Amino acid sequence: MPMIFILGGLAGQSLAENICYATLPISMIVLGSMLTAPVLSQVMQKYGRKAGFLLGAFGGAIGATIGALGLYYQSFPLFLFGSLFTGVYMSAQGFYRFAALDTASDALRPKVISYVLAGGLLAAVIGPQLVKVTAHALVVPYLATYLAVIALNVFGSVVFLFLAPPVPDTEYQEVGISRTRWQLLQDPKILISMFCAMVSYALMNLMMTSTPLAVVGCGFDENRAADVVSAHVLAMFLPSFFTGHLIAKYGAERIIGIGLVLLTISAFAGLSGVDLGNFFAALILLGLGWNFGFIGATTLLANSYAPSERAKVQGLNDFLVFGSVTAASFGSGWLMNCSGSSVVKGWSSVNIAMLPWLLLAAIALLWLYRQKISKPVHS
């Protein structure tokens, strides 16, 4: 995914007739994730995690293949169609954290989510380096990168062949009262945890999608853009080794709050200038904020529903999260390229757009926390 996010906007900018649509390929990826999340959730509920993950890897390989053809034939619509299939993979990898919860005790839940997301450290290191090696390895720019993505999906899917179902299939069909989706959204804990996850993920995507365009637009080369994104992805996943411990000790609400504060500081760091150091500071803070906000929200959600509601809640959560990310990724390109007369003004617009959403999330979280501490304790 770091490879796709580094080059998706740049490739879109090279193919699109209107630069306002430069980030549309990334929007299509997230749209594909949003549309397939409920379906994959039901597939995994019925046939197991392995089937869903293999399906995701297959979608990623197909998407990269179509994307490579789009680059070769210089067809923006074909490239967008491939991006939509890539969303199947993005959706499937979002369920890794839920798969880790299947056999975890309540005490271990925050930690296993963190450990799974810590695997993103490999992506943070390997992805941007592969971009540097492959971006201009062939006559058609970025074509070799998409060929590398095909190979990663094919060889990576081998891992899932060794994934044994953690519980008998019959235990996936839990018996119990299951609320409707509307009833689930009326539960304040579920609603606010989903909203905080949406804000954390969408705003991270809003800024990250624009970053390669902003870095290159400010006179730096693609390698520097890859370095900035690499630092960002490291910041996204490196804290995962201890985020779960912090949640267990201080509570999910407080960790989400810290995440929202870090995302706010990130926006102000982006507004403070367009030197390379400013980009690094903003994106590192963005990654840290996403880590605390998203892992905290996922943990809060995981403790908010009955086992019989698992597939419904997880599918609904990822549908809403990726729906918000779709809007953010499309808005990112418009804000970056079409909201101002220069790259600097466009980058400022991206950062300013984050602030009202962070304020709304903070107010909702504070209300939930006050409700929690105001409840009487019964012996």
- Over the Cα atoms of the chain, what is R_g? 20
Per the domain annotation, does 170 fall within a domain? no
- Judged against a pLDDT cut of 60, whether residue 237 lies above it is answered with yes
Amino acid at 43: V
Per-residue pLDDT, 172: 44
Per the domain annotation, does 168 fall within a domain? no
Mean per-residue pLDDT of the chain = 87
- Judged against a pLDDT cut of 70, whether residue 31 lies above it is answered with yes
Per the domain annotation, does 350 fall within a domain? yes
Per the domain annotation, does 346 fall within a domain? yes
Per-residue pLDDT, 303: 82
Per the domain annotation, does 173 fall within a domain? no
Per the domain annotation, does 169 fall within a domain? no
Residue, of 61 and 122, whose pLDDT is higher = 61
- The number of residues making up the chain comes to 379
Query: Which residue, 98, 101, 71, 99, is CA-closest to 83?
Result: 71
Residue whose token pair is 């069909």: 173
Per the domain annotation, does 130 fall within a domain? yes
Cα separation of 16 and 77, whole Å? 9
The domain total for the chain is 1
Read off the pLDDT band of 166 (50, 70, 90).
low
pLDDT in tens, 241-276: 888 889 988 999 999 999 999 999 999 999 999 999
The CATH number given to whatever domain includes residue 232 is 1.20.1250.20
Percent of the chain with pLDDT over 90: 44
Write down the pTM of the prediction. Answer: 0.77
Q: Which domain holds residue 13?
A: 2-158+178-374
Count CA within 13 A, CB hemisphere, residue 112: 16
Cα separation of 155 and 148, whole Å? 11
Joined tokens for residue 259: 């995440």
Per the domain annotation, does 163 fall within a domain? no
